[in-house]
Amino acid sequence: MSERKVQLQENLAATRAQIEQLAAESGCKPPQLLPVTKFHPAADIALLAELGVTDVAENREQEARAKAAELPQLRFHMIGQIQTKKANHVARWAASVHSLDSLKLAHALERGVALAKDRGERETNLPVFIQVSADGDGARGGVPAEALDELVEAVEDSQQLDLAGLMVVPPLDADAAEVFQSVRQTVDRLSDELGRALKLSAGMSADMAEAIAAGSDIVRVGTSIMGPRPVG
């Protein structure tokens, strides 16, 4: 086994053990671990696949598209902001989108998925998580609270998108625990209203403990698994 593969194996094991411990301490169900592989080469991601990883997350469309083409054995999830003009590309390769934050993008993804199906590039609907803005600042992505229900309704009415849940990234100056707990309550409210369980995608390396305590269903972890991003 190569040195890099051993390193990734150890990092995965340590991260999973940490998740199990945090979940046990909080009395919560352990969330799904979604490794974030942005900036790291496809060779590293191939090693993750050899270690049993089936799903990874990327932030940049062009980088993710190339990796998805090179590694068809893996499911790639889009967690970064999406330009509307890139929606057709995302619709072809994404196993899910965690950063839907506007009606315009929802309509663009709807058209993109339909086109991908027509071209034989996709068979299934696209699961989407609506990204919630905790402070209403759209510059970082996310829909403000007052526009959330309208976007939920649009996704529910769509033919090509399936609402999977909500995603949130706490602002740097915010209390992460409060943000996660608030969005968890919103997920639960929407689950009750729609009559099915939605998921919360929340928590990264730095705030994983707070997210798990709040009942996150998916944590997106990069540095703890992949190490520092490559230089150059």
What CATH number does the domain containing 50 carry?
Answer: 3.20.20.10
Is residue 214 assigned to a domain? Answer: yes
CA distance 164 to 26: 24
Determine the structural domain holding residue 30 and report its residue range: 3-226
Q: Is the pLDDT of residue 232 over 60?
A: no
The pTM of the full predicted model, rounded to 2 decimals, is 0.96
Is residue 117 assigned to a domain? Answer: yes
* 172-186 pLDDT per residue, tens: 889 999 999 999 999
Is residue 193 assigned to a domain? Answer: yes
Is residue 210 assigned to a domain? Answer: yes
- CA dihedral 31→32→37→42, nearest 10 degrees, is 160
* 9-27 pLDDT per residue, tens: 999 999 999 999 999 999 9
Is residue 177 assigned to a domain? Answer: yes
Tokens of 112: 């993109």
Alpha helices by DSSP H, 27-157: 42-50, 61-70, 87-93, 103-118, 145-157
- Across the range 162-179, mean pLDDT stands at 96
Is residue 232 assigned to a domain? Answer: no
41 touches 71 (CB < 8 A): no
Three-state secondary structure call for residue 164: strand
Euclidean distance between the first and the last CA atom of the chain, given in angstroms as a whole number:
26
- How many structural domains is the chain composed of? 1
